[in-house]
Amino acid sequence: MNDIAHNLAQVRDKISAAAARCGRASEEITLLAVSKTKPASAIAEAIDAGQRAFGENYVQEGVDKIHHFQQQGICTLQWHFIGPLQSNKSRLVAENFDWCHTVDRLRIASRLSEQRPAHLPPLNVLIQINISDEQSKSGIALVDLDALAAQVAELPGLCLRGLMAIPAPQADYEGQFAVARQMAVAFEALKTRYPTVDTLSLGMSDDMSAAIAAGSTMVRIGTAIFGARDYTKN
Ligand SMILES: *Cc1c(COP(=O)(O)O)cnc(C)c1O
């Protein structure tokens, strides 16, 4: 087994253990492999190990990888855009990705909807919540969620699937769980109003267990699968 296959198996075991501890089925939680800055060869190893969903933060880098695997005839992959999105890059996301986790304003949502090609299914979108109210982070406040969700749900090129957050680091499990529960409560409420909503993208390496216990349905893991990132090569 290569390193990436080994790491993936370990991460999957951790997800299963965290799910079992709170009485959830591990199938309820999707593992998103965050492959930003990693070469296509690393993604290919993960694909060989059975991974299908990949997360990318930089638009052009992600599009290059998507095209690479399309040219190889590998069409069963799911590509998630998880980075901050500028308006001038929205077309590339709309035309190439399957999901966008970082919708946080109507302007970007409208553009994604208009730019989504008609031959593709609607782009799956998550509304990003700035749950820790950090100035440096994108995302909206929870009080603004209902208004934006109502607008996004009307856009024909998009399918509203749920919520995403990147909570500020917490000192302990209890702190992580408390923040994750705030997200889960908002997610459950949204779900009752929109039948397409089924995804809470929450939990990274350090807070995965608390996020799963609180109700996350998708965890985003990079380093634990692909190793440390080297930004000097970009
Ligand atoms: C990079 C990134 C991750 C993965 O982070 P790791 O520390 O490598 O596991 C998850 N979510 C988002 C939004 C990211 O940008």
User: 84: domain CATH number?
Assistant: 3.20.20.10
Integer angstrom CA distances of residue 10 from 7, 22, 140, 200, 221: 5, 19, 34, 22, 12
Q: Strand (E) positions, the chain?
A: 30-34, 53-56, 78-81, 99-103, 123-129, 158-165, 199-201, 218-221
Within a domain: residue 123? yes
CA of 100 to the centre of ligand 1 (A): 14
Residue 166 in contact with ligand 1 by CB distance below 6 A: yes
Within a domain: residue 174? yes
Within a domain: residue 23? yes
pLDDT band at 75 (very low <50, low <70, confident <90, very high): confident
Within a domain: residue 136? yes
pLDDT of residue 135: 83
pLDDT of residue 100: 98
Q: pLDDT per residue over 90-113, tens digit each?
A: 999 999 999 999 999 999 999 999
Within a domain: residue 234? no
- Kindly tell me if the per-residue pLDDT of 153 is higher than 80: yes
CA 198 to chain centre: 13
Residue 223 in contact with ligand 1 by CB distance below 6 A: yes
Q: What is the mean pLDDT of residues 40-65?
A: 98
Lowest mean pLDDT among 28-32, 131-135, 142-146, 216-220: 131-135
The whole-chain average pLDDT of the chain stands at 96
Within a domain: residue 25? yes
Within a domain: residue 233? no
Q: What is the mean pLDDT of residues 189-218?
A: 97
Residue 57 in contact with ligand 1 by CB distance below 6 A: yes
- Kindly tell me if the per-residue pLDDT of 137 is higher than 60: yes
pLDDT of residue 233: 59
Global pTM reads: 0.97
Ligand 1 pocket mutation pick from 82, 129, 137 by most atoms within 8 angstroms of CB? 82
pLDDT of residue 97: 98
Within a domain: residue 167? yes
Q: What is the tally of structural domains in the chain?
A: 1
Question: What percentage of the chain has pLDDT greater than the value 70?
Answer: 99
Domain interval for residue 34: 3-228
Residue 222 in contact with ligand 1 by CB distance below 6 A: yes
